[in-house]
């Protein structure tokens, strides 16, 4: 393998007349941080899409709100919460010009197309441009920027009327479209297209002009060549024990992430605090939740390679179950004099979700599959995630009306507890493991 790598590097230099750098300077990290931050402006926009309903629907459903251009019913509001860049930008333009609920349905569907694409592409871009020394940190930016987008929307929504909020949410999309135009394509993608000279230039832009690229570009070329020889079909994925178990684990983690009720909490944060009788105003409580979510996700990026994936997932699911159960009890008993309790429960829930169940499923989606199965399995995982976003968001208000909000939170608590059992018995620890070691663990069914 070493001889093949050296030969590939030599061929690259001869064919392209690219001189190797004089020294062997280490890779610079700031260009990679810049590229990762730029691409995750798109995920910040995902956060604005997810949380826009919290301030906007309270205004649209309030028949006494004079700043609302029109009003919607509770059922119409649940559909508007579902329909998650050009499609993303177009969605905000439609929202600005909307004259009724039907236009908002169309806007959210446009946004949904963009969110699905961003969720599949942005993490892959980061993984392909990042040096191994910073890949974990940069990989956490996707979820972190979503939480910052949520906080941004909560803050603007607390002070801005309907149209100003939509305009503020459009702004990050415009900045992303302009800034990302100047970012390099990933070296791996350029190599798959046979554009090796451009791949070298992109790698030097990301690592620094004095970086000795030869070993890395040769390894990337070898991976691209191997992947092209081993394209996997759906049947191939299901035939391999390691791929089957990896797919089961990824789908299970995506399901637990959404069945925990996270999007019902994020979409309707303001409504939750209003109905729970919190002593804080709904908008202020939502901002507190947004701050907590962003801070906890940042902390997760620092703990991921220290505590491990399993520990964070088990902590997350167990504590989420307790927090939701207590929140449901507070609402069921209509407790007076402790209006701070709903805020504490939701903040604890958000903290532990952001530490584990928020970022880890997306991270492990990239760790559980070998290259030839990754595209198929990742697509299935993203589809499952957003299908359950639809189910949870659409059923939250109807279930709350039929069963009571307390019962809905108890259902989510039970699903979180079931998720803890799933993690304990089935999810392996991938911290510090190579791809080969992870595949061996999946093939044998070990969890550690």
Q: Per residue in 388-415, pLDDT tens? A: 888 888 888 889 889 988 899 999 999 9
DSSP secondary-structure letter at 117? Answer: H
Question: pLDDT at position 253, please?
Answer: 96
Query: Domains in the chain, ordered, with CATH?
Result: 11-18+28-183 (1.20.1250.20), 236-448 (1.20.1250.20)
Per-residue burial over 363-402, b = 16 or more CB atoms within 10 Å of its CB, e = otherwise:
bbbbbbbbebbbbbbbebbbebbbebbbebbbebbebbee
41 vs 176: CA distance, rounded Å: 6
375 vs 221: CA distance, rounded Å: 18
In this predicted structure, the answer to whether residue 10 has a pLDDT above a threshold of 80 is no
This model's pTM is above 0.75: no
Question: pLDDT at position 117, please?
Answer: 65
111 or 256: which leads in pLDDT: 256
262 vs 393: CA distance, rounded Å: 9
The rounded mean pLDDT for the chain is 74
Span 47-59, mean pLDDT? 56
Question: pLDDT at position 317, please?
Answer: 96
Backbone angles phi, psi at 418, to 5 degrees: -65, -35
Most confident of 60-74, 128-142, 322-336, 424-438: 322-336
Q: Per residue in 225-276, pLDDT tens? A: 766 665 556 676 667 788 889 899 999 999 999 999 987 776 666 666 665 5
DSSP-derived secondary structure for 300-364: HHHHHHHH-HHHHHHHHHHHHHHHHHHHHHHHHHT--S-THHHHHHHHHHHHHIIIIITTHHHHH
109 vs 47: CA distance, rounded Å: 15
């Amino acid at each position: 393998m070493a001889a093949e790598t050296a030969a590939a590097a030599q061929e690259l230099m001869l064919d392209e007349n690219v001189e190797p750098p004089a020294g062997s300077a280490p890779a610079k990290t700031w260009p990679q941080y810049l590229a990762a931050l730029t691409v995750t402006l798109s995920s910040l926009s995902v956060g604005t899409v997810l949380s826009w309903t919290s301030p906007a629907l309270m205004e649209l459903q309030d028949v006494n709100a004079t700043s609302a251009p029109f009003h919607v019913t509770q059922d119409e509001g649940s559909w508007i919460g579902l329909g998650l860049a050009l499609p993303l930008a177009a969605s905000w333009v439609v929202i600005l010009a909307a004259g009724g609920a039907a236009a908002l349905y169309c806007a959210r569907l446009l946004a949904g197309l963009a969110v699905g694409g961003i969720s599949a592409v942005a993490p892959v871009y980061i993984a392909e441009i990042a040096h191994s020394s910073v890949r974990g940190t940069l990989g956490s930016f996707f979820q972190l920027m979503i939480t910052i987008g949520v906080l941004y929307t909560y803050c603007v929504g607390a002070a801005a009327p309907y149209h100003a909020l939509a305009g503020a949410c459009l702004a990050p999309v415009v900045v992303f479209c302009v800034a990302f135009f100047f970012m390099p394509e990933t070296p791996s993608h350029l190599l798959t297209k046979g554009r090796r000279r451009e791949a070298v230039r992109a790698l030097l832009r990301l690592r620094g002009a004095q970086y000795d690229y030869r070993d890395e570009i040769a390894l990337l070329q070898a991976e691209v060549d191997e992947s092209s020889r081993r394209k996997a079909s759906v049947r191939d994925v299901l035939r391999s024990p390691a791929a089957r178990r990896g797919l089961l684990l990824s789908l299970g983690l995506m399901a637990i992430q959404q069945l925990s009720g996270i999007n019902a909490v994020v979409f309707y944060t303001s409504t939750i605090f209003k109905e729970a009788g919190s002593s804080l105003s709904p908008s202020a409580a939502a901002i507190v939740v947004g701050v907590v979510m962003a801070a906890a996700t940042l902390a997760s990026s620092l703990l991921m390679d220290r505590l491990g994936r399993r520990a964070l997932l088990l902590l997350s699911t167990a504590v989420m179950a307790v927090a939701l159960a207590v929140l449901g009890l507070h609402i069921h008993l209509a407790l007076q004099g402790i209006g701070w309790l709903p805020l504490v429960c939701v903040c604890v829930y958000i903290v532990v979700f952001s530490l584990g169940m928020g970022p880890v499923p997306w991270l492990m989606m990239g760790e559980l599959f070998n290259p030839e199965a990754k595209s198929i399995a990742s697509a299935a995982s993203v589809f499952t995630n957003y299908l359950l976003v639809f189910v949870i968001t659409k059923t939250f208000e109807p279930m709350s009306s039929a069963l009571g909000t307390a019962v809905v939170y108890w259902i989510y608590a039970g699903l979180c507890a079931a998720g803890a059992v799933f993690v304990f018995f089935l999810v392996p620890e991938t911290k510090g493991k190579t791809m080969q070691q992870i595949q061996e663990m999946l093939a044998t069914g070990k969890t550690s």
